[in-house]
A = this chain, B = another copy of it.
Amino acid sequence: MRELPPSHPFDDDKLKEECGIFGVIGVADAANFVALGLHALQHRGQEAGGIVSHDAEQGFNSARRFGYVRDNFTKASLMETLPGPLAIGHVRYSTAGSKGAVIRDVQPFFGEFAMGGAAIAHNGNITNANALRRELIERGSIFQSSSDSECIIHLMARSFQSNIPERMKDALRRVEGAFSVVAMTRTKLIGVRDPLGVRPLVLGKIGDGWALSSETCALDIIGAEYVREIKPGEMVVINASGIESYRPFEPVEPRFCIFEHVYFSRPDSIIGDRSVYETRRQIGVELAREAPVDADLVCPVPDSGTPAAIGFSQESGIPYAMGIIRNQYMGRTFIEPTEQIRNMGVRLKLNVNRALIKGKRVILVDDSVVRGTTSIKIKQMILDAGAAEVHFRIASPPTAWPCFYGVDTPERGKLLAANMSEEEMREFIGVDSIKFISLDGLYRAVGEATGRNAKCPQYCDACFSGEYPVRPADMIAKGFELKAAE
């Protein structure tokens, strides 16, 4: 039941955003809006989803399910159990918790406090969750999940503050890491971003009500107007009478996740007033300037390489073409036929446009290289179809470090770029050339005209640079070694 067709043909070789969050207040049947918002955020987490709503008569109600939003939160029988004008929701990949997926790890989490209940959903990762958990258990808290997010709600339960927003401030000040939070009490919708603002959170207006969302594309689906981003370190508390803004944390320079631009966010979302699609196209333009090559066709690796491929084609003048076609119906695990089919897994998802590729020099544009395993498979398909040359152009710098801020990354030893030079990667993958955009080129594409400020980088780019803006305490306790100071 839980095996789902992956969203990307090579999900097993991509970084995975762990969560999307959404909340609505001040509209009838808020849970229906949340269901739509989560559907639009499905790319941020496909394993499971949950919604909590509150209704004056029926109190808090909750539903958490494995599988797609469209398969669960579209049934009248379920949605009727989630009444009221206030609701929050969550979609997730696997959590930072235990490997086996269990429904009790699915957010939002709900807790009943002395002054009433609260529900909370969270995108990111708490880097001192293990230590906090140990301390809470020693004092008698009982954890129901293996999720790092549950710490927040136990810290809130034990706070001496007399209202929930204050309790949440208390709790979040104990927490380290990168996180965006949407939470709700019986009457309030709350949004928070960590001091660095690593993960996104935006505010929208819908009729007389308000919405909080990981991305603007989810405001579009419910017809909400995009108002602004929640600021790094900001906490907003929204109720019938309006929005209040707080600053519970010490102020620091923000470090938004640059990989949201490269891959995580949907191309139709807006970040920092720019279309994500346009940023990605611009990465392709930069890449064509940095790493030109003589060829016949520019082909995207579908679908995430498409905008950069368009940009590369436009800058280079080499025609853009759909050399690889994606099967719209994807595939789970078919039974392998007795006669061995080479690369069957890939064939279920992609097919090469043979008549087009044959005899051509092909530039393949992909968004990133993680383990390199699928780059090899794609190269082989292209060669099998008779391509004369294969050149990879990658719309991000080499991914050489794991992310500890809410993105599922292989351990460092499995990251191709942590272990090989560019030339070694070229040989390993077996192509005529491979080039990654430079870190400065990427910064230019996202709008930093002078590139990266090495002293105080404008973004979190730890996965490329190894410079972690928040100390990953739990991982260091488990033996992770930081990059040696230079």
Residues of B within 8 Å of A458, CB to CB, are: none
Chain B residue at smallest Cβ distance from A68 = B329
B-contacting 9-mer, from A188-196, A246-254, A255-263, A339-347: A339-347
**Nearest B-chain residue to A352, judged by Cβ:** B268
Select A157's contact among B142, B337, B351, beta carbons within 8 Å: B142
Contact B341 A223 (CB under 8 A): yes
- Please tell me which one of the listed residues B32, B220, B319 contacts residue A351 in the complex, with CB atoms under 8 A apart: B220
Residue of B nearest to A271 (CB): B355
The answer to the question of A376 belonging to the interface, with a C-beta cut-off of 8 Å to chain B, is no
- Distance A28 CA – B335 CA, assembled complex (angstroms): 13
Partner of A70 from the list B42, B217, B330 (CB cut-off 8 Å) is B330
Q: Shortest Cβ distance from A106 into chain B, in angstroms? A: 12
Tell me which of A133-141, A387-395, A397-405 binds B: A133-141
B-contacting residues, A79-132, CB 8 Å:
79, 103-104, 111-114
Among A197-205, A306-314, A436-444, the one that faces the other chain is: A306-314
* Given A303-B328, A347-B221, A353-B268, A337:B112 Cβ within 8 A: no
In the complex, are the beta carbons of B341 and A267 less than 8 A apart? no
Total copies of this chain within the assembly: 4
Binds B, one of A235-243, A272-280, A420-428: A272-280
A70–B307 touching, CB < 8 Å = no
Q: Among B71, B158, B341, which residue has its beta carbon within 8 angstroms of that of A222?
A: B341
Q: Report the interface size for chain A: residues with CB under 8 A from the other chain.
A: 91
Whether B74 pairs with A274 at a CB distance below 8 angstroms is no
Q: In the assembly, what is the distance between CA of A212 and CA of B354, in Å?
A: 19
A184 proximal to B (CB < 8 A)? no
Q: Is A206 an interface residue (CB 8 A)?
A: yes
CB <8 Å contact, A320 and B320 = yes
Q: Is A35 an interface residue (CB 8 A)?
A: yes
Per the bound structure, the CA–CA distance linking A180 and B377 in Å amounts to: 35
Cβ B157 vs Cβ A70 within 8 A: no
Q: Is A52 at the interface (CB under 8 A from chain B)?
A: no
A70-B331, A314-B319, A334-B74 are contacts. A267–B354 as well, Cβ < 8 Å?
no
Question: Across the two chains, which residue of chain B brings its CB closest to A159?
Answer: B140
Known contacts: A70-B5, A338-B32. The answer to whether A322 contacts B351 by CB under 8 A is no
| Between-chain CB contacts (< 8 Å), 19 pairs | A28-B338, A33-B337, A33-B339, A39-B348, A42-B328, A70-B331, A70-B348, A76-B335, A103-B103, A112-B137, A113-B137, A142-B153, A217-B325, A222-B341, A266-B325, A277-B322, A277-B356, A278-B356, A303-B328
A-B contacts besides A32-B336, A70-B332, A112-B137, 20 pairs, CB < 8 Å: A7-B328, A29-B335, A39-B334, A70-B330, A74-B334, A137-B157, A142-B142, A217-B351, A221-B351, A222-B341, A268-B325, A268-B351, A268-B354, A274-B355, A275-B353, A277-B322, A277-B325, A277-B355, A277-B356, A306-B322
Instruction: Enumerate chain A interface residues (CB-CB to B < 8 A).
Output: 5, 7, 27-29, 32-33, 35-36, 39-40, 42-43, 46, 68-71, 73-74, 76, 79, 103-104, 111-114, 137-138, 140-144, 153-154, 157-159, 206-207, 217, 220-223, 266-268, 270, 273-275, 277-278, 281, 303, 306-307, 310, 314, 319-322, 325, 327-339, 341-342, 344, 347-348, 351-356
